[in-house]
């Protein structure tokens, strides 16, 4: 594998050969992560591209417009510190969580625990085989939580795939005891309606509340019935996790009829997925706030009573947002960044045909006070480097980089790589650093790239779907103050108050 350090910003016209209207029609019908199968199924399929698209990708590599296959490029302020390839778990890598000197990496086949006390040489301390997409992971104290959003024969780690039309099938949350990180123990499970695509912790002293996001109900699924217009709330007693149970299902989109009151999608809004639940929720416990990315809707809600969240405001973007995927608050809680996962993470959307406003981030200001706060759109941000039509690329998971007085974020873009960007000026966001690999192939779309890219204790950690666990160091005067903040743990969907919760030199 070759590496190239570069400071150039490549504004390519890749994708112009594709008929934009036809491409967008295809993207809008693709479901989130649609190309990634349930563990136990056949390996991920490869999507074909036209001979013209393949030729364009190869020509762009020859001209130096894009990196070669597997070639690494990055801005001068990024250093690629380490890469740990996949090992026993060969499924798709997914989300990340952190606690102390450990990183917890989800994988469709289970999860892996790294000792990152030396970021230059992470060491694997445990690999747990427990198939069930997506296996998004979070940690709190001695407990680890794992999301299962695929229909399984039972709740064990030896389960197999089973149709959701069968009542005995299981999907939901799994809970592990990680008091011995080298030997995690499976201690409990909780079945939830429509499974658990992602989850968010709202940690209290005695209990942990979990907001479970799931979607796409079907009248033929006994455990996933429409309208499914809310989220499952699980309460987990820390000292007795085996007593974990669903305690509420708050309706976030009240409305009449079988579809509830969320975004109706097509044909009313032809470019948007119908809202039938939430994809991801981010909470800011210090401000009693949460932001929900819910398919066709973005919401802001109060979590003063964590078991009974209350919607404050709701917005839609029926022109440029196809699928509201995730959300990130800034530190002052007067902005939210929402992502649009156009094409479900399996399509090539970072090209000229799609343009800068689709498959991008939407930056929203929060104005007003209390329960009268409103979300006000300010701008879009998308990486300025076009990718080949053989590279799945779209806005995905990221986190704040904690610098007082600045709004800085690092974010994974699948095969678009890792981007660091500044949204201090809500109306004029800009990229300040990047890291990416060349396409996995110039002939077909093979799913890969950074699923999650998060900043933790001085380094950026990225879980690449295909290439493994990457460690990056960012050296830039704009971000260097963040290196002084040392955190005890990080679950990105449970945003900390970086300047009150942790020791740092700025206080």
CATH code for the domain in which residue 299 is found: 2.130.10.10
Residues in the chain: 507
Residue of 490, 493, 29 lying closest to 278 (CA atoms): 493
**Residue 212 forms part of a structural domain:** yes
Strand-pairing partners, residue 281, are 292
Confidence of residue 204 (pLDDT cuts 50, 70, 90): confident
Q: Is the predicted pLDDT of residue 367 greater than 90, yes or no?
A: yes
d(CA 146, CA 189): 9
**Residue 222 forms part of a structural domain:** yes
Are 125 and 136 contacting, i.e. CB atoms less than 8 angstroms apart?
no
Q: Is the predicted pLDDT of residue 201 greater than 60, yes or no?
A: yes
What pLDDT score does 21 carry?
44
In this structure, of 55-64, 97-106, 477-486, the range with the lowest mean pLDDT score is 55-64
pLDDT above 90 covers a percentage of the chain that reads 85
- When pLDDT is averaged across residues 394-423 and rounded to a whole number, the result is 98
Q: Is the predicted pLDDT of residue 28 greater than 80, yes or no?
A: no
Residue of 259, 236, 266, 235 lying closest to 249 (CA atoms): 235
**Residue 403 forms part of a structural domain:** yes
**Residue 301 forms part of a structural domain:** yes
Instruction: Give Cα 43 to chain centroid, integer Å.
Output: 22
Are 500 and 286 contacting, i.e. CB atoms less than 8 angstroms apart?
yes
Confidence of residue 502 (pLDDT cuts 50, 70, 90): low
Q: Is the predicted pLDDT of residue 180 greater than 70, yes or no?
A: yes
- When pLDDT is averaged across residues 432-461 and rounded to a whole number, the result is 97
Are 458 and 472 contacting, i.e. CB atoms less than 8 angstroms apart?
no
SS3 112: strand
- Total domains in the chain come to 1
Mean predicted lDDT score pLDDT of the chain: 91
- When pLDDT is averaged across residues 386-400 and rounded to a whole number, the result is 97
**Residue 381 forms part of a structural domain:** yes
Confidence of residue 260 (pLDDT cuts 50, 70, 90): confident
Vertex 124: Cα angle to 487 and 92 (nearest 5): 90
Rg (the chain; Cα; Å): 21
Q: Is the predicted pLDDT of residue 209 greater than 50, yes or no?
A: yes
Q: Is the predicted pLDDT of residue 7 greater than 70, yes or no?
A: no
**Residue 103 forms part of a structural domain:** yes
**Residue 507 forms part of a structural domain:** no
What pLDDT score does 206 carry?
92
| Boundaries of domain holding 286 | 3-501
Token pair 């990047």: residue = 434
What pLDDT score does 42 carry?
36
What pLDDT score does 32 carry?
42
* Tokens coding 405: 């007085």
Phi, psi of 60 (to 5 degrees): -65, -35
**Residue 16 forms part of a structural domain:** yes
d(CA 154, CA 399): 34
In this structure, of 37-41, 132-136, 171-175, 485-489, the range with the lowest mean pLDDT score is 37-41
- Of the two residues 1 and 187, the one the predictor is more confident about is 187
Integer angstrom CA distances of residue 144 from 39, 81, 141, 461? 20, 27, 8, 19
Does the pTM exceed 0.85? Answer: yes
């Amino acid at each position: 594998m070759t590496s190239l350090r570069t400071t150039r910003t490549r504004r390519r016209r890749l994708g112009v050969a594709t008929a934009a209207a036809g491409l967008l029609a295809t993207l809008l019908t693709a479901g989130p992560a649609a190309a990634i199968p349930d563990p136990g199924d056949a390996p991920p399929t490869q999507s074909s591209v036209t001979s013209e698209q393949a030729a364009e990708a190869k020509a762009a590599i020859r001209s130096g417009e894009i990196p070669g296959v597997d070639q690494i490029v990055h801005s001068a302020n990024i250093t690629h510190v380490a890469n740990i390839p996949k090992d026993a778990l060969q499924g798709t890598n997914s989300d990340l969580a952190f606690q102390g000197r450990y990183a917890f990496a989800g994988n469709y086949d289970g999860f892996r625990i790294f000792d990152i006390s030396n970021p230059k040489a992470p060491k694997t301390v445990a690999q747990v085989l427990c198939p069930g997409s997506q296996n998004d992971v979070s940690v709190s104290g001695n407990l680890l939580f794992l999301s299962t959003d695929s229909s399984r024969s039972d709740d064990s780690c030896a389960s197999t795939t089973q149709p959701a039309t069968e009542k005995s099938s299981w999907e939901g949350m799994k809970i592990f005891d990680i008091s011995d990180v080298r030997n995690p123990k499976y201690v409990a499970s909780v079945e939830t309606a429509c499974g658990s695509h992602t989850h968010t912790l709202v940690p209290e002293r005695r209990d942990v509340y979990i907001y479970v996001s799931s979607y796409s109900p079907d009248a033929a699924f006994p455990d996933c019935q429409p309208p499914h217009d809310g989220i499952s709330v699980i309460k987990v007693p820390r000292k007795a996790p085996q007593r974990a149970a669903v305690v509420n299902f708050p309706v976030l989109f009240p409305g009449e009829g079988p579809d509830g009151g969320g975004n109706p999608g097509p044909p009313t809004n032809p470019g948007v997925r119908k809202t039938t639940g939430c994809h991801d929720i981010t909470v800011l416990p210090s401000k009693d706030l949460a932001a929900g990315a819910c398919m066709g809707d973005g919401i802001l809600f109060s979590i003063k009573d964590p078991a009974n969240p209350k919607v404050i405001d709701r917005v839609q973007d029926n022109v440029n947002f196809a699928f509201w995927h995730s959300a990130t608050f800034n530190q002052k809680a007067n902005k939210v960044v929402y992502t649009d996962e156009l094409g479900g993470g399996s399509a090539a959307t970072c090209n000229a045909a799609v343009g800068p406003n689709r498959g991008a981030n939407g930056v929203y200001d929060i104005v007003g006070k209390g329960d009268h706060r409103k979300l006000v759109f300010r701008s879009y941000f998308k990486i300025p480097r076009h990718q080949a039509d053989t590279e799945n690329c779209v806005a995905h998971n990221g986190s704040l980089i904690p610098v007082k007085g600045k709004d800085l974020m690092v974010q994974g873009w699948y095969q678009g790589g890792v981007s660091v960007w500044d949204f201090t000026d809500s109306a004029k966001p800009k990229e300040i650093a990047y890291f990416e690999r060349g396409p996995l192939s110039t002939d077909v779309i093979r799913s890969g790239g950074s699923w999650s890219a998060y900043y933790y204790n001085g380094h950026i950690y990225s879980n690449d779907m295909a290439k493994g666990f990457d460690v990056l160091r960012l050296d830039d005067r704009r971000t260097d103050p963040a290196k002084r903040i040392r955190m005890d743990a990080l679950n990105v969907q449970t945003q900390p108050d970086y300047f009150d919760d942790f020791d740092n030199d700025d206080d």
